[in-house]
Amino acid sequence: MTRPKQVTAGILPPTPPPSQGILTTQSHMAKRLAKRGYVNN
């Protein structure tokens, strides 16, 4: 019983939460748009 729990715990941490994933994607898109000149703010 303890081994499967440890395995799952070891597999879960590497995967980033959805909130961080969305924030990173937004930041990357914002940077790309800024480089292209679409963002005038």
pLDDT of residue 26: 73
Place of tokens 């940077």: 31
- Count CA atoms closer than 13 A to 31's CA, side-chain side: 6
Which segments of the chain does DSSP mark as H helices, in order?
2-11, 18-36
pLDDT tens by residue, 1-41: 555 555 555 555 555 566 666 667 777 777 877 777 765 55
